[in-house]
Structure 1
Amino acid sequence: MKKSKRTTPKAKPPVAAIGPPTVQAAITGIGEISSAAEKTEAAGNRQGAIELYRRWLSENNSPSAWVIWFNLGVMLRNSGDAPGAVAAYENAIKINPLCIHARINIGTTLETLNRADEALAHWRTALQQLDLATAPPADLLCAVLNNLGRRLEIAQRYTEAEEMLVRSLRVNPKQDAVLYHRIYLRQKQCAWPIYDPLPGISEEDQRNATSAVAMLSITDDPAIQLRTAQVQGPSKVPSNIRRLPPLAPYHHRRLRVGYLSSNFGMHAVSILTAELYELHDRSRVEVWGFCWSPEDNTEMRARIIRAMDHFVRIKDMSDEQAARAIREAEIDVLVDLQGLTAGCRPAIIAMRPAPVQVTYLGFPGPTGLPEIDYVLCDRYIVPEGSARYFPEKPLYLPECYQINDRKRECSSPKSRTEYGLPDDAFVYCAFNNNIKFTPEIFAAWMRILQRTPGSVLWLLADNEKAKENLGLCADQHNVRRDRLIFAPRVSVADYLGRYAAADLFLDLFPFNGGTTVADALWMGLPVVTLSGRSFASRMAGSLLLSFQLPELVTETLADYEDTAVALAHDRDRVAKLRQLILARRAISPVFDSPKLTRQIEDVFFEAIGKALPISREDNAPMPNVQAGVAISPQGNAFVANAPFRLLVEGWRGIAHSYALVNQYQLFAWANQPDIKIFHRDAPFLLPRWSEPGQKSGLPSHYDQKLRALTPWHGEAHDGVFRIHSPFNLQPDSAHRVATFMVTEMGLNPDDVNRLRPLIRPYQDSGGLVVTPSRWAKARLTDIGIAQEGIFVVPHGISSDIFFPLPVNQRQAIRSSLGFNEGDVIFLNVGAGFWNKGLDVLVRAFAHVRHSAPNAKLILKDQTSIYGVSSQRMVIDALHETKLPSAGDILKDIRVIGSDLSLDQLRELFNLADYYTSPYRAEGFNLPVIEALACGTPAIVTGGGATDDFCHAENSIRIPSKLHSNVTLAGHGLATYLEPEEGALIDILRACIQDSPFDRQQRLYFSDLVATQFPWSGISATLAHLLTRRGLL
């Protein structure tokens, strides 16, 4: 389960942090050492930065030295020196006992040293200090409370843990991870209702924060489970994750099957699968294990390692390193045994290390992870009519899906008296984790006890609070508490021995038992189950039907109760069922593990035969679609008998980004045989765009294909995609609709007032909102669009238009434009609007050019498209610098014409040394990714839209400061970033002196961008969203 994360400040505390006024006033003269140390670390010399801090501390006895001790602690922790970090934080606290940041950090560091009690003590002290403050900072208060809640839960002090989390949520209700953690805690304690009212937090908010695992116990509605997984699965994958580079196809004599898990040890998954690894036919299969669980020194762990041909420990590897290890092993089929359960690492899967990726056993539901191709199941678990609730394609086993271990050890059974059971009672049992209990199933159990006098219910005791709450529930149903008998946790062998003392196993609903039901059947104990609509609610039914016991599989709660009661009144029937189960155990598919292993191998061979090799094409469609389902290269997209008829409403024929994006997508869709395109031209926003002379800039073969599109004249269609402004959120319940919406800073007041009444009806009718970045998504949620209905689908690249030119051709272009060999050219082709930050760029460039005459800047005029003169903006910005050489500098700022073809734009991107965009706000920033595709590195504002695709391998980020909900003239409330002009000046100077990107790096990231963001993959994803949406 995903709990509230450790909260550790990553930077020095602000001057205004809680502390004595005299200390605050004394913080002077340390800025230089902090700046010097930070720059030294940024240059890759962290040890040198540490020594700078230590030297300063040895020579200064300032009352403000606590700041430097704190900074040193952060640096030591980041370098892996936890004891040194603790000592540094302790020194900070000695000087300033009210330094909350240090107390938070020392606690999280002490945890890594297994000194949890000391960590708790520091956080409790911090909480006491914050409680005494007049206005404690909300972020610090929440950080302390969340760490306390997390640590107290680990210590099984659940009531205290929940109190801390509730306090944190009262301070800031907008903490999904904390809400998520609190819901999990309530399930663990059987504290019903799970969704308990909290100020400012609705039941809907709590449902939205419920984990995909927890949702399996709350409802059997597969559509709800899918929606939860679609939100949470992708959210567990970092937005900047990239597929591994293309690799030549590989083939082996034996199929290489890799099992991926953190549960290779004493865990339910290993208890089920241990014999599977042993039984694989080594003449046809080579078995690999990739594990990130700690060594638990159990015999089960040792057995699994012995059973694997290769066992690779990836615990200390990053996700990318782990994915590369799997790729280097040339795994054919990668089996994820983890799903969305605790400790999962879906980013490994997202990098596509294997051509076929399968989910099995660990998570009984849809994962929402687009890179998982198949779910291993049987036709009872996932009937063909329910396959639409799985982005993963069902890979059907012919009989039963669950593998089991026949080598399990069982202790000799004890007498009922030794177990604390009445000798003559009818003993129902339910040895499942209490967290899976629900008030509905527990109420059914109480009604069963009421109808069977003298019976008892034997339960597992997970924790004292759960026992207490279950006792209270029994009181409410007028069932004596002594009829609930709690068994402590014991070894697996002793646990199996218990089943001999029970009469009937009562299964859970909606999250059936899997391992526990198989355990009961192995021991000959009859099981009554209730089957529902979801995977998790049909697991026990699959096992029982494989034993040919349909009479024990019920479909309503009333039948479940009646069956359990009838068996209690017919002990002869129960005894015969025991004999029957034991007799069939040897022949049932449930325990015919050799046969099931062959069947699993067969379907793996079938899947690899259908898969595409790991090649450039397979590497292509890698859009990061949040809250939705991305397309898989194995063809999981919707396939209909007839083409999907898509009406596109948008702009064409101008150089506006909406029109360009629309035309790129139309061109890609026109090449998809399963899509029939109609196009309706939307009215232009500005009259000048309709004037003669406007150009799209597209190559001629694009224009020819686009002109051949069928104009829409009222023909029937299946879906609508809208991409124009003003945004159209008119509901259309008759069609599947997606509207492209993007905003840089937030919508202006007129648009907000116009759209707000339409948002709810549009989303209720099934309408989707598509936006190209996480930044834009955040701005759209600010105006009330439900985030689960917003899908982040990035823009793409046409690699036939934007690509690196040969070195000699690049040099020829530069020379033809009058540039010298040693010139360093910075380029920006954006408009001169305030949010684009060109004024920042011009001023920073002027300061650099003042001392570096080889610095050159190219800008693009936007008069024809926007009526904005870039030349005027340049003059104004230069005037602001007050540099005496401004006139001379102006000669090295070239403003080129606005009517450029895309071929000419490609030449511009290639001739530049750096594409430079110190923007304040962007919805995506298409020119940046186009420049990267041409092999030109970018200098961009950090923290904004470009974070989704700009990283250290292809760009330099400008530090920035976030401004939220700021009132701007003519705009209303806006959110933007202010890039640090001084930092940009330093970056430009450093780039002039020595480029951090060589030719090979540029070619590498160019190829990477082209393969990760092709318009073919982006458009396929959009079509997939529209078509799949109709199946939900």
Structure 2
Amino acid sequence: MSDSALAPARDLLARGAPQAAREWLQANPPRPGDAAEHAFLLGVCQLQAGQPRLAVAPLEHCLALDPSHINAANALATALHLQGNNARACQVLRLCLEYRPAAGECLLNLGRLLEMDGDHAGAMAAYGRVPAATPALSFPAGLRHATLLSRMGQTEDALALLRTLTPEPADELRTLRQLQGEILLAAGRAPEAEALLAGATDARQQLLWGMALAAQARWEPARTALGEAWERAPGERRHWTNPLTGQAFGPAPLPSPLQCFTGYHRQQVGRGEWAQRQTFARESAAYPLAPTATDWHSAFALFSAPLAPAVRRRLADRWADALLAAMPPATTLPQPRARHDGTLRIAYLSPDFGDHAMGHCLRSFCRHHDRRRCHITLYADSRDDGSEVRRQLRREADAFTEVYGLSDGDLEQRMARDGIQILVDLAGYTRGGRPRLARRPGSPLKVLYQGYPGTLGRGLADYALVDRHVCPPGSEAHWAEALIRLPDSFFLLDSEAPAVPLLEAAELGAPAAPVVFACFNQTWKVDAQAMALWQAVLAAVPEAVLWLHAETPAVAAALTRRAAEAGIGATRLHFSPGTTRPRYLARYRHVHAVLDTPLYHGHGTGADALGMGTPVLSLQGEGFQARVGGSLVRALGLPQLAAESAEAYVATAIRLGRDEAWRQALAADIRRGCATDGPLGTRRRVRQLEQAYARIWQHHRAGLAPASCAVEGGTATEDEEKTA
């Protein structure tokens, strides 16, 4: 069989028929001289069929026969990447490059893999070698290189690199202009992006133009540009990437001007542009356009703006009204299947059942539900990420159902068939949420819990699970939902998490200082108030340093400038980017205390620190999001870590820095409180949740409207406060 004799298999692959191609190859064994190419095509068949695991063996066989086979190396790297093995994929590409140093496609793919793994220097080196190796790939390599420079905050270098490229076809020219616009938008240079893209006729560029207009609160022209762009390319838009988030728009509906505005300004305040916060808050609160069914995507970004709880409630009501008005016509829900065991059928819905902060919090909670009282269904509204967290949740739930891609109507039909009585929404107005789900007659009762720190607005949920600290008496006016106040804290964390590796400070890039304060919150939570508090603490504890999270050197540089303005020298700060969860948790062993951000407390990060026995100090604010830290430590019997004033925050932080014996005593109390049966333990919290669900269902069975109540010591008692 000659190489040309393999043409039928190639033709079948080109026509998208991998199964037929594989059958042809299996029916036509290779001759010795064709064995490598034959094995390569078998591997491609498996890749095209969505079976990367099965593609590995034939592709490895091909490379064993011909180590310089460029296409096989790239295909094998792809198969390994799809299985999460980027390290091995990089090895494959590097080995091929030893035989074929001018293999530009291998260099390009190597750069992409290194970029994904956070090796930015290695990625840029790989991209930089492409033009000399394969001049025909100079343009795509330059685009990737410039994109990475932009993400690293090196905007001018990225734009300068793009100016050196020579696009030839019209498509390349459009792509170049588009990337220039994306880089300017991502850098907070909306006026320049607008000038570059004004009058664009290409749909993607027009979308970016609309986003640039929205970023400047030019609402009407932004709405027009966004709408026209969305209508021009219905088949392409699902593949477009939002330059402000790095996420694909996917099948989502038209982004609203408010959504673009909030995404832009949240990104900028996360880079230290704090002067924009007041404009951000003012323009968002006064948004003049009629609400649309996509405005709710702005909700979480707005927590980076200083809005009063009453304003957040008003905005949420507007979003809820728009969502309900746009709801498709009602369909008849099927009758639930008969149940004879007397258990409550509870479903938890989340897009984060996996390697995500929410997934880690919930990791072991299913095993503690009393199956005599509750039947637990998990509706996983995301693709399987292959994580151990997802596998454990799947094993321990009574039912684990993949619902990603289902419409709201189809999911409501599924819940009805499953006989769900109470739906616990763990997403709310966060990415991947379904806020208007379960609002039809016959739908289960809907309970908002943990994932979103605020109300969904009128008509979208029946209850919210909170506690007396995050929602003190009088806060009912800021919620459309009836409030169920749990004892201790509302927060559910995993008190049975896997052991964290013992790693030395140097291995983790920890600062070498006698006292290490830390805050690993996302940088959009840091503001001028936080910097002022930290300055006062560091001035009083001269041997201390502050360890902060910063995803890129540019963000670290911006925070260093802001710190200098507050009087904090650069030597008092230490920055680290994100890392794997085990290494992130191991960092807390080298932290003496966490100094939380007042604007928005560390919710998952605060719970993580406490789970590692590290004291967390927070200043209590006005809204739910600024009171979670206090909820956690008060549940542990440590109210001194929930400061009610800036003066108390600074004084307590100074004591944490100076009094080692007190820190050790606090750490011991924290570890006891985070044990399985402690005040923050998983078993205890699940029992309280079950009491809340029983109370909710009892109230519903009595024909009563949702009403606020408190769960106390395993029983539910009516709140003395009136329900709003």
Distance 2:602 2:320 in 1: 23
**Structure 2 contact 500–586 (Cα < 8 Å) conserved:** yes
1:858-911 C-alpha deviation (Å, 9 max, x unpaired): xxxxxxxxxxxxxxxxxxxxxxxxxxxxxxxxxxxxxxxxxxxxxxxxxxxxxx
In structure 2, relative to structure 1, the CA distance for the partners of 1:174 and 1:578 (3 Å cut) is: closer
Q: Tell me by how many angstroms 1:150 deviates.
A: 4.8
* Aligned partners of 1:294 and 1:315 also within 8 Å: yes
SS of the aligned residue for 1:283 comes to coil
1:457 equivalent in alignment to 2:546: yes
Determine if the alignment matches structure 1 residue 331 to structure 2 residue 420.
Answer: yes
Aligned-residue offset at 1:352: 5.6
* Conservation of the 8 A alpha-carbon contact between 1:272 and 1:404: yes
* Aligned-partner residue type, residue 290 of structure 1: Y
* Residue 643 (structure 2) aligns with: 554
In the TM superposition, what is the alpha-carbon distance from 1:597 to its structure 2 partner? 1.2
CA contact (8 A) 1:350 1:369 kept: no
C-alpha contact 1:432 1:513 (8 A) present in aligned 2? yes
1:145 aligns with 2:227: no
Q: Aligned pair in 2 of structure 1 residues 478, 382: CA closer, same or farther (>3 Å)? A: closer
The match for 2:268 among 167, 182, 186 is: 186
Which whole-Å CA distance do the structure 1 matches of 2:617 and 2:551 have between them? 22
Other-structure match for 1:228: 315
CA drift of 1:266 comes to: 0.8
Confirm or deny: 8 A CA contact 2:317 2:457 kept in the other structure. yes
What amino acid does structure 1 have at the position aligned with 2:306?
A: T
CA distance in 2 between counterparts of 1:442 and 1:450 reads 12
1:205: how far off? 4.5
Aligned residues: 490
> Is the 2:673–2:679 contact (alpha carbons within 8 Å) kept by the matching residues of 1?
no
Change over 3 Å in CA distance of 1:565–1:324 after alignment to 2: same
1:127 and 1:145 in contact (8 A); partners too:
no
| Cα separation, partners in 2 of 1:565 and 1:466, compared to 1, 3 Å | same
User: Which residue does the alignment assign to 1:211?
Assistant: 298
Say if 1:147 and 1:538 are closer, same or farther in 2 by CA, change over 3 A: closer
Q: Which residue of 2 aligns with 1:378?
A: 467
> 2:604 is matched with which residue: 491, 515, 534?
515
**TM alignment of 1:385-784, pairs within 5 A:** 385-586=474-675, 589-611=678-700, 634-635=705-706
Provide the residue aligned with 1:865 in structure 2. Answer: none
**Structure 1 alignment gaps of length 5 or more:** 1-116, 157-172, 619-632, 638-1029
Checking the alignment, whether the CA contact within 8 Å between 1:265 and 1:301 is kept in structure 2 is yes
1:584 positional shift: 4.0
8 Å CA contact 2:489, 2:631 repeated in 1: yes
CA distance in 1 between counterparts of 2:173 and 2:199 reads 23
Residues in 2 aligned to 1:132 and 1:589: alpha-carbon distance in whole angstroms: 58
Normalized against structure 1, the TM-score is what?
Answer: 0.44
> 1:676 is matched with which residue?
none
2:148 aligned residue? none
Aligned to 2:718: none
**Partners of 2:589 and 2:612 within 8 A in 1:** yes
Distance 1:120 1:457, change over 3 A: farther
Match in the other structure for 2:348: 259
- CA 1:504–1:220 in 2, change beyond 3 Å: closer, same or farther? farther
SS at match of 1:189: coil
Work out which of the residue numbers 447, 456, 462 in structure 2 matches 1:358: 447
- Please tell me whether the aligned partners of residues 361 and 492 of structure 2 are also in contact (alpha carbons under 8 angstroms): yes
Q: What is the CA-CA distance between 1:334 and the residue it aligns to?
A: 0.4
* In the alignment, structure 1 residue 289 sits paired with structure 2 residue 378: yes
> Which amino acid in the other structure matches residue 450 of structure 1?
A
Cα pair 1:268 1:515 within 8 Å, conserved: yes
- State the Cα deviation string for residues 728-760 of structure 1 (Å, max 9, x = none): xxxxxxxxxxxxxxxxxxxxxxxxxxxxxxxxx
Q: Please state whether the residue corresponding to 1:230 is helix, strand or coil.
A: helix
Q: 1:448 to 1:137 in 2, by over 3 A?
A: same
Offset at residue 154 of structure 1 (A)? 4.8
The answer to whether the Cα contact below 8 Å between 1:496 and 1:519 also exists between their aligned partners in 2 is yes
Distance 1:410 1:189, change over 3 A: farther
Q: Which amino acid aligns with 1:282?
A: R
The whole-number CA distance in structure 1 between the counterparts of 2:652 and 2:196 is 60
Cα distance in structure 2, aligned partners of 1:320 and 1:600: 28
Contact 1:330 1:354 in 2 (8 A): no
Q: Of residues 436, 454, 458 in structure 2, which corresponds to 1:347? A: 436
With over 3 angstroms needed to count, the CA separation of the structure-2 counterparts of 1:237 and 1:346, relative to structure 1, is farther
Residue aligning to 2:391: 302
Using a 3 Å threshold, how does the CA distance of structure 1 residues 547 and 291 change in structure 2: closer, same or farther?
A: same
Task: Output the amino acid matched with 2:276.
Answer: I
Q: Are the structure 2 counterparts of residues 407 and 146 from structure 1 closer, same or farther at C-alpha, using a change threshold of 3 Å? A: farther
Amino acid at match of 1:478: G
Where 1:449 maps in the other structure, the secondary structure is helix
**Conserved 8 A contact 1:230-1:369:** yes
Deviation at 1:399, TM superposition (A): 2.6
Q: Note the C-alpha offset of 1:456.
A: 0.7
Shift of 1:243: 4.4
For the residue of structure 1 that corresponds to 2:427, the secondary structure is coil
> Sequence identity, in percent?
26
CA gap 1:491/1:511 in 2 versus in 1, 3 angstroms: same
Q: Is the 8 A contact 1:412 1:497 kept in 2?
A: yes
Deviations 1:965-1013 (A, max 9, x none): xxxxxxxxxxxxxxxxxxxxxxxxxxxxxxxxxxxxxxxxxxxxxxxxx
Partner deviation per Cα, 1:379-425 (whole Å, 9 max, x = no partner): 22212321221111011223321122122124333333444445443
Q: Could you say what the CA RMSD is over the residues aligned between the two structures, in angstroms? A: 3.7
User: Contact (CA 8 Å) 1:237, 1:346: kept in 2 or not?
Assistant: no
Residue equivalent to 2:227: none
CA distance in 2, matches of 1:301, 1:449: 41
| Alpha-carbon distance between aligned partners in 1 of 2:579 and 2:613, rounded to the nearest angstrom | 20
The answer on whether the counterparts of 2:197 and 2:206 sit within 8 Å (CA) in structure 1 is: no
- 1:498-521 Cα shifts (integer Å, max 9, x gaps): 111111111122321222222212
Counterpart residue number, 2:456: 367
508-517 or 580-589, larger mean C-alpha shift: 580-589
8 Å contact from structure 1 (residues 612, 634) kept in 2: no
Separation in 1, partners of 2:454, 2:498: 30
Match of 1:241 among 328, 333, 338: 328
Higher-Rg member (1/2)? 1
Q: Tell me the CA shift for residue 454 of structure 1.
A: 2.3
Please state how far the C-alpha of 1:300 moved relative to its aligned partner: 0.7
Q: Give the superposition deviation at 1:546.
A: 1.3
Give yes or no for contact 1:410–1:492 (8 Å, CA) kept in 2: no
* 1:831-850 matches, cutoff 5 A: none
Task: Please tell me whether the aligned partners of residues 244 and 352 of structure 1 are also in contact (alpha carbons under 8 angstroms).
Answer: no
Q: Distance in 2 between matches of 1:456 and 1:352?
A: 57
CA offsets 1:127-182 (integer angstroms, 9 cap, x no match): 999989996569986424358995434559xxxxxxxxxxxxxxxx9932321221
How far residue 458 of structure 1 moved from its aligned partner, in angstroms, is: 0.8
Q: Which amino acid aligns with 1:428?
A: F
Partner SS state of residue 358, structure 1: strand
Give the Cα–Cα distance (whole angstroms) in 2 for the partners of residues 246 and 228 of structure 1. 31
Match of 1:671 in 2: none
In the alignment, residue 271 of structure 1 is paired with which amino acid?
H
Q: Partners in 2 of 1:322 and 1:353 — Cα distance? A: 13
